[in-house]
């Protein structure tokens, strides 16, 4: 096991559970505990990231949670899903201007000699994910801004993951059944 492996797993699980933990724990005094745990885990992610862009993104979120703790802004905790969507948009969107998109790199893990048609398809799928991150982050931001914390918890903790799964599964089915790739 590499250093940070269990921290990365714990961060993933905590991030998935974050909306429910924050929504139900905000009145129970979990603010400091949750913000400190997220700050520490993102710091660990910063220190163990392989790529510079991963390190910068992790550092950005580490600094976010550090600022939340220093300034004791409980309402800032609702903005974490927005930041994650911005981070994912930066990764996927930034890859549109690189030699290979994120989706193309993933596709080449299974098929190193990817035909040009497939490269174009991976670019389109990357664009679709960018649109998803824009819409998803915008909805999370609107719910936080409007103070609809019950809706925020349901959307960011359940609906967003269902939508992600549907997009992932829909793309996979389209690729297998229609494109026959």
Model confidence pLDDT, tens digit, residues 36-61: 999 999 999 899 988 888 899 999 99
Q: How confident is the model at residue 86 (pLDDT cuts 50, 70, 90)?
A: very high
pTM for the structure as a whole:
0.89
pLDDT at 93: 95
| Interacting residues of 8 by C-beta distance below 8 A, sequence separation 6+ | 44, 45, 48
Check pLDDT > 70 for residue 2.
no
pLDDT at 3: 56
What DSSP string describes the chain? --TTHHHHHHHHHHHHHHHHHHHHHTTTT-HHHHHHHHHHHHHHHHHH-SSHHHHHHHHHHHHHHHHHHHHT-GGGGGGHHHHHHHHHHHHHHHHTTSSS-HHHHHHHHH-SS--HHHHHHHHHHHHHHHHHHHHHHHHHHHHHHTT-HHHHHHIIIIIHHHHHHHHHHHHHHIIIIIS--
Percent of the chain with pLDDT over 90: 67
pLDDT at 1: 54
């Amino acid at each position: 096991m590499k250093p940070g492996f269990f921290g990365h797993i714990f961060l993933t699980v905590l991030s998935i559970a974050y909306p429910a933990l924050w929504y139900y724990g905000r009145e129970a005094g979990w603010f400091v505990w949750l913000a400190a745990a997220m700050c520490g885990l993102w710091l660990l992610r910063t220190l163990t990231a392989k790529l510079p862009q991963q390190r910068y993104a992790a550092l950005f979120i580490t600094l976010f949670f550090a600022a939340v703790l220093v300034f004791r802004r409980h309402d800032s905790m609702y903005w974490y899903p927005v930041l994650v969507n911005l981070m994912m948009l930066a990764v996927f969107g930034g890859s549109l201007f690189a030699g290979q998109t994120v989706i193309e790199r993933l596709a080449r893990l299974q098929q190193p000699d990817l035909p040009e048609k497939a490269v174009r398809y991976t670019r389109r799928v990357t664009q679709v994910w960018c649109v998803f991150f824009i819409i998803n982050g915008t909805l999370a931001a609107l719910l936080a801004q409007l103070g609809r914390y019950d809706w925020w918890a349901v959307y960011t903790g359940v609906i967003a993951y269902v939508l992600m799964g549907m997009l992932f599964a829909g793309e996979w089915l389209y690729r297998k059944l229609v494109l026959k790739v």
